């Protein structure tokens, strides 16, 4: 093991998001995967033996991980003894149990960076898109106090993958004084967002499924939390932004698209102002010069038939949100199309960026 790197575990390492973590963390300058965890049925076996047949990444399983023995997610003491940070992306039906497991890890001194939805509605758990709400990390000390966590223990979460393709563009406009009051969003979500094996091929080839369980509620509520202010003891949830969402599953492998109409509260920017704000957007997190931070968090693309998942999802290591087709809306003020890579920016890449932020801010040492 490289002693300069922070040893990390992945809870749910055999799944779609876990595999993406393993791919993105190969040769990462700050983190080293020392422990891979999954369900009891996988536990005790070599990673390559369990995952080899269902590995979905376009690069090979890294040698440093292939021969690790899988641990059970619930072996909290043993896993914690090997690392300082855990990426949580395991999936079970009992969300209360996921909440408890993540906080149990935090109680052993782990920083938990979670992709699961279980802790997202907890007001003291920052739901971080660092380009937007870095200041929500001020809540961590209070979270530690209320939950009796040691100084190194904490839980932070990433939002749902459906919202990355429009929330940062909305934030950029609000940052420049153009408050948004209404959003009507239709998402076209990729198959990898449903995990492995996910949606049956006969249900989705030559088809669109106009329902994804639980997704519309998350798409309507999570941007509101992220775009709210926080003090160091509480989240002050805003009430002036309403979102209506329709979420669909489409036969695309990676890359969630959002079709968005937006209404401004009072001041309405011109089309050119919106494009300039998006293309010139620079967030405070850039100052940290983090390995997973994209050169541009938002890219406006002028080509009339873009963004498209296959052509635009990988922009800047899959971490940039690509927007296009800005035009007037006959019902609200403007409409546009947004796209982001769901397993990179929307899952593992976003989780890694959040962990890098924790290190940069001295919350993880
Ligand atoms: P997935 O492919 O179905 O993987 C599920 C993982 O959970 C596997 O590692 C599995 O291990 C583990 N697991 C299943 N039952 C378990 C149990 N009883 N105890 C412990 N571990 C268990 O799902 P995914 O797409 O990677 O999603 C994982 C999480 O990330 C979910 O909460 C999901 O909502 C969230 N997320 C996904 C995406 C995306 O784009 N896919 C984006 C954002 C967030 P075994 O192999 O041993 O069964």
Mean pLDDT of the residues in the chain: 97
Question: Is any ligand 1 atom within 6 A of the Cβ of residue 15?
Answer: yes
What is the DSSP-derived secondary structure letter of residue 157?
E
Instruction: Give the Cα separation of 359 and 156 in Å (integer).
Output: 13
Q: Are 32 and 2 in contact (CB under 8 A)?
A: yes
Determine the Cα angle at 31 with ends 29 and 37, to 5°.
150
CA–centroid distance, 17 to ligand 1, in Å, is 7
Per-residue pLDDT at 1: 62
Q: Are 303 and 313 in contact (CB under 8 A)?
A: no
* 141 has catalytic annotation: no
At 18, the pLDDT band (50, 70, 90 cuts) reads very high
Closest CA to 340 of 78, 119, 207, 159: 159
CA distance readout (Å), 33 to 42, 79, 316: 18, 12, 23
Q: Choose which residue among 11, 12, 341, 354 to substitute to test ligand 1 binding: the one with the highest number of ligand atoms within 8 A of its C-beta.
A: 12
- Convert the pLDDT of each residue in 326-335 to its tens digit: 999 999 999 9
Question: Is any ligand 1 atom within 6 A of the Cβ of residue 192?
Answer: yes
Per-residue pLDDT at 165: 97
Question: Is any ligand 1 atom within 6 A of the Cβ of residue 54?
Answer: no
Question: Is any ligand 1 atom within 6 A of the Cβ of residue 162?
Answer: no
Q: What is the mean pLDDT of residues 208-229?
A: 98
Per-residue pLDDT at 178: 98
Q: Are 95 and 73 in contact (CB under 8 A)?
A: no
Phi and psi based region of residue 269 (left: phi greater than 0; alpha: psi -120 to 50; beta: remaining): beta
Q: Are 57 and 19 in contact (CB under 8 A)?
A: yes
Instruction: Give the Cα separation of 345 and 21 in Å (integer).
Output: 11
Atom 3 in ligand 1: residue holding the nearest Cα: 195
Q: Name the catalytic one among 161, 247, 321, 341.
A: 161
Per-residue pLDDT at 255: 98
Q: Kindly report the backbone phi and psi dihedral angles of residue 340, in degrees, each rounded to the nearest multiple of 5, phi listed first.
A: -145, 155
At 2, the pLDDT band (50, 70, 90 cuts) reads low
* 341 has catalytic annotation: no
Q: Name the catalytic one among 28, 37, 247, 256.
A: 256
Q: What is the mean pLDDT of residues 31-57?
A: 98
- Convert the pLDDT of each residue in 278-319 to its tens digit: 999 999 999 999 999 999 999 999 999 999 999 999 999 999
- Convert the pLDDT of each residue in 319-361 to its tens digit: 999 999 999 999 999 999 999 999 999 999 999 999 999 999 9
Atom 4 in ligand 1: residue holding the nearest Cα: 15
Question: Is any ligand 1 atom within 6 A of the Cβ of residue 22?
Answer: no
Per-residue pLDDT at 126: 98
Q: Is the pLDDT of residue 3 over 80?
A: no
Cα 217 to chain centroid, rounded: 16
- Convert the pLDDT of each residue in 151-210 to its tens digit: 999 999 999 999 999 999 999 999 999 999 999 999 999 999 999 999 999 999 999 999
Atom 21 in ligand 1: residue holding the nearest Cα: 39
Atom 46 in ligand 1: residue holding the nearest Cα: 14
Q: Is the pLDDT of residue 43 over 80?
A: yes
N- to C-terminal Cα distance for the chain? Answer: 17
> Closest ligand 1 atom, CA of 20?
26
Per-residue pLDDT at 340: 98
Question: Is any ligand 1 atom within 6 A of the Cβ of residue 223?
Answer: no
Question: Is any ligand 1 atom within 6 A of the Cβ of residue 310?
Answer: no
Question: Is any ligand 1 atom within 6 A of the Cβ of residue 196?
Answer: yes
Instruction: Give the Cα separation of 309 and 221 in Å (integer).
Output: 25
At 234, the pLDDT band (50, 70, 90 cuts) reads very high
- Convert the pLDDT of each residue in 109-129 to its tens digit: 999 999 999 999 999 999 999
Q: Is this prediction's pTM over 0.85?
A: yes
């Amino acid at each position: 093991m490289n002693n300069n790197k922070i040893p990390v575990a992945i809870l749910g390492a055999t799944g779609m998001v876990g595999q993406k973590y393993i791919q993105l963390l190969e040769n990462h300058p700050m983190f080293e995967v020392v422990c891979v965890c999954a369900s009891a049925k996988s536990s005790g076996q070599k990673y390559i033996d369990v995952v080899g047949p269902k590995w979905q990444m376009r690069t090979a399983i890294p040698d440093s991980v292939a021969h690790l023995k899988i641990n059970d997610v619930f072996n909290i003491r043993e896993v914690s003894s090997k690392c300082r940070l855990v990426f949580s992306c395991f999936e079970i039906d009992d969300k209360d149990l996921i909440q408890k497991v993540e906080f149990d890890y935090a109680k052993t001194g782990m920083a938990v960076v979670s992709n699961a939805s279980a802790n997202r509605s907890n007001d003291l758990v920052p739901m971080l898109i660092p380009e937007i709400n870095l200041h929500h990390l001020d809540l961590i000390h209070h979270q530690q106090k209320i939950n009796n966590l040691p100084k190194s223990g904490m839980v932070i979460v990433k939002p749902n993958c459906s919202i990355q393709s429009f929330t940062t563009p909305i934030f950029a406009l609000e940052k420049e004084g153009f408050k948004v009051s209404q959003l009507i969003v239709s998402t076209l979500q990729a198959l990898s967002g449903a995990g492995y094996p996910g949606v049956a091929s006969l249900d989705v080839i030559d088809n669109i499924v106009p329902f994804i369980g639980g997704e519309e509620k998350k798409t309507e509520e999570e941007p509101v939390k992220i775009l709210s202010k926080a003090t160091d003891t509480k989240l002050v949830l805003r009430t002036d932004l309403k979102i209506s969402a329709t979420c669909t599953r489409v036969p695309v492998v990676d890359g969630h698209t959002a079709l968005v109409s937006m209404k401004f509260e009072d001041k309405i920017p011109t089309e050119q102002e919106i494009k300039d704000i998006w293309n010139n957007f620079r967030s405070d997190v850039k100052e940290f010069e983090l390995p997973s931070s994209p050169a541009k968090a938002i890219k406006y693309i002028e080509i009339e038939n873009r963004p498209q998942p296959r052509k635009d999802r990988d922009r800047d290591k899959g971490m940039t949100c690509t927007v296009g087709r800005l035009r007037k809306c006959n019902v609200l003020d403007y409409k546009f199309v947004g796209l982001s890579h769901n397993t990179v920016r929307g899952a593992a890449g976003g989780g890694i960026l959040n962990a890098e932020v924790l290190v940069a801010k001295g919350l993880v040492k």
